[in-house]
Structure 1
Amino acid sequence: MTDLILSESLANARARLDEALSAAGRPAGAARLLAVSKTKPAAMIRKAWQLGQREFGENYVQEALDKQAELADLDAIVWHFIGPLQSNKTRDVAEHFSWVHSVDRERIVRRLNDQRPEALGPLDICLQVNISDEASKSGVSLDALPGLAEVVLTMPRLRLRGLMAIPSPAEGLSAQRAPFARLREALEDLRERFPEAPLDTLSMGMSADLEAAVLEGATMVRLGTAIFGERQTR
């Protein structure tokens, strides 16, 4: 992808998000754009940063660490881990990321807390919910969600910010909105249960269903293909 194409793609993604927010009757800036940069080279991330993008999502720990080292000169870059997280990778994530969107079990919660350097401040956490009840998908069930949230809230080096989901693909706006509505309702329930928690984040919506997610209250949308083009083979 040339610099010009990336510039146009990023501008189009921003405009699409702005239009979706307007159509939903929500204020500009009510949802942030997370650029999903997995499998993309550090040079492409650097160009997106030069174009004003600051938040990037990565799925693979070692790939992300290599990019972070190459891009260490960039100020104010924020790294989000959004992929499945294995126990043997929690230390690297706790030490090198600002956000984790894919927390779905207590063992991971405790390891991230124990391995987070105190000097970095709390690690922002989104709990991943298996909102479509797919056997092949990661995520905590809606029934188990309050219990897992309560565990996170006892951890001094973690900060529970909200929920994340990757619904099964659906055709049509109404079908796309349904799982996002369930996730929004789950967050509203957590806010009632834990009124002191800073639960301000719904990480939902990707290139294929951004508009549906924004209609249901997304505060962070994760766009990869729409910004960087088709995913490359690792």
Structure 2
Amino acid sequence: MIAQNYQNVIKKMALASEKYGVSIPELLAVSKKKPASAVAELYAQGQRHFGESYAQEGVEKVEQLQLHNDIVWHFIGPVQSNKTRMIASHFDWVQSVEREKILLRLNQQRPDGLPPLQVLLQMKIGDERSKSGADKNTLLDLLELGSQLEHITIRGLMCIPPPADSQSQQRAYFEQAQQFYHQHQQRFGMDVLSMGMSNDFEMAIACGSTMLRIGTELFGARE
């Protein structure tokens, strides 16, 4: 089923990109709560970018699949201070940075022999108190700080909007991130806008997403 799901997602991405006249985004396969064997199965289809939300589980998969040394591992979950060393040592990207303390720890704990950690800043969208993310002023402070760090390269933004009742509401949420991204893209050299998941990726593509985070559509429902 994974191979068929993958082809279906690729087709849907291409159709949406053609519909809205935009480039096809990068596909990040969200493999959290799925076994390493499922990652290997999708890898065999040509997928290379995989996302994990739990540090320990992610590191175990990185180590189990280290023979597939061209996998690009993204950490996409909330970053806890006591997990930054583990994340900085094993992942290629971190998509969920929202605090100065975390950014500084990731920079400090990135091993010297590895290339800079590719970082996305998580932007708060909507008014849900439970949602993570930094407000616009904090984002600007983090962008300034990130430009001065040796072991960090800030590539852009990530967002997780609140649940929406319609595609027009989805679009309104994504346009908030798109507007901020375009406003500051050139100044800070950003080239990645990570938004869109299994239930809303068509509207994310319409709003210029450059990276989709797809789990359920690829691997099926999580237990």
TM-score, normalised via structure 1 length: 0.93
Tell me by how many angstroms 1:130 deviates.
Answer: 0.9
Name the CA distance, whole Å, in 1 between partners of 2:93 and 2:220.
Answer: 24
Tell me by how many angstroms 1:185 deviates.
Answer: 0.9
Instruction: Determine the structure 2 residue equivalent to 1:37.
Output: 31
Sort the Cα spacing of 1:154 and 1:133 in 2 relative to 1 into closer, same or farther, 3 A.
farther
Name the CA distance, whole Å, in 2 between partners of 1:26 and 1:139.
Answer: 26
Partner SS, residue 226 of structure 1: helix
Tell me by how many angstroms 1:198 deviates.
Answer: 2.9
Query: Is contact 1:133-1:141 (8 Å) kept?
Result: no
Tell me by how many angstroms 1:68 deviates.
Answer: 1.1
Query: Is contact 1:101-1:127 (8 Å) kept?
Result: yes
Instruction: Determine the structure 1 residue equivalent to 2:197.
Output: 206
Instruction: Determine the structure 2 residue equivalent to 1:215.
Output: 206
Query: Is contact 1:130-1:166 (8 Å) kept?
Result: yes
Instruction: Determine the structure 2 residue equivalent to 1:78.
Output: 72
The gaps in structure 1 that reach 5 residues or longer are none
Instruction: Determine the structure 1 residue equivalent to 2:83.
Output: 89
Moved more, 174-183 or 136-145: 136-145
The amino acid across from 2:215 in the alignment is G
Partner SS, residue 119 of structure 1: coil
Partner SS, residue 57 of structure 1: strand
Name the CA distance, whole Å, in 2 between partners of 1:117 and 1:165.
Answer: 27
The amino acid across from 2:107 in the alignment is N
Matched residues, number: 223
Moved segments of 4+, more than 3 Å: none
Query: Is contact 1:131-1:142 (8 Å) kept?
Result: no
Task: Give the CA RMSD over aligned residues.
Answer: 1.0
Name the CA distance, whole Å, in 2 between partners of 1:75 and 1:114.
Answer: 24
- CA offsets per residue over residues 98-151 of structure 1, 9 Å max, x none? 110000000000000000112211111100011113211111012321112111
Name the CA distance, whole Å, in 1 between partners of 2:181 and 2:75.
Answer: 20
Query: Is contact 1:203-1:221 (8 Å) kept?
Result: yes
The gaps in structure 2 that reach 5 residues or longer are none
Which one of 2, 10, 13 corresponds to residue 6 of structure 2? 10
TM-score, normalised via structure 2 length: 0.97
Moved more, 59-68 or 141-150: 141-150
Name the CA distance, whole Å, in 2 between partners of 1:161 and 1:139.
Answer: 16
